[in-house]
Amino acid sequence: MPIPAQPYPYPLPATGLALLIIDMQRDFIEPGGFGDALGNDVSLLRAIIPQVKALQEAFRHYNLPIFQTVEGHLPDLSDCPPSKRDRGSSSLKIGDRGPMGRILVLGEPGNGIIPELAPLPGEVIIPKPGKGAFYATELEAHLKAQGITHLIITGVTTEVCVQTTMREANDRGYECLLVEDATESYFPAFKQATLEMVRAQDGIIGWTGATEAVLSALAAQFSVQVVA
């Protein structure tokens, strides 16, 4: 059953579907993290938590794969280019100590996924040193090992890590649906521009659709009908 989407219905496969949750980590979503240090209103990103949670629970219910990413660096910052660390005038930079530990350093409290979306044992977490989830990570190896061809994409921020990942996935042949109300930006105009870009020219990068449409299609496709 296809999912109602733009620019046209998204073909929901019988197999090969996974949920990708991008960077729903404390450093970006909670006060005191990197997003806050950059002067952003982190409450904007928290608005999507219920939708991402609903999708997470649905994929668990139907025993479908879930992958989460966290952007972070090794403690010695050997995988963080100086250009990334030094850019901008933020009061806190990558590796500096903030209210939730060292900013964007793997293993620090702020680098953890928010409690509302905590992964279950066996669900894969992909650390990534860049914006895209495919660069210098094991994501593609996991997808190939499980025969994944279609990705339902959620997370933050829409125009940076989410869009970069979607473009990377598109170049590798994955069919991607970006869930409009399960992705967010500190800048609403940037989110809207990204949605329009990815679905332009008959889906040059992929599709966009709503959480409820995805949930309804999953129920129709994967629910087991019990006959009394």
In one-letter notation, the amino acid at residue 42 is V
The one-letter code for the residue type at 102 is R
Determine whether 23 is an active site residue. Answer: yes
Decide if pLDDT at 202 tops 60: yes
State both tokens at 42: 């982190």
Q: Which of 54, 25, 31, 12 has the alpha carbon at shortest distance from 155?
A: 25
Averaged over 176-182, what is the pLDDT?
98
Of the candidates 23, 36, 80, 93, the residue annotated as catalytic is 23
Per-residue pLDDT at 228 exceeds 50: no
Contact 101, 111 (CB under 8 A): yes
- Among candidate residues 128, 131, 176, 191, the one labeled active-site is 128
Please, which pLDDT band fits residue 154 given cuts at 50, 70 and 90? Answer: very high
Q: Does the pLDDT at position 89 exceed 90? A: no
pLDDT tens profile 64-88: 999 999 999 999 999 999 999 998 8
Residue 163 pLDDT greater than 80, yes or no: yes
Q: Answer yes or no: are the C-beta atoms of 184 and 29 closer than 8 Å.
A: no
Catalytic residue among 36, 80, 93, 161: 161
> Would residue 161 show up in a list of annotated catalytic residues for this protein?
yes
What pLDDT is recorded for position 37? Answer: 80
Cα distances (angstroms) measured from residue 69 to each of 59, 216, 218, 225: 16, 25, 23, 34
Of the pLDDT bands very low, low, confident and very high (cuts 50, 70, 90), residue 224 is low
The residues pairing with 70 across neighbouring beta strands, listed in sequence order, are 127
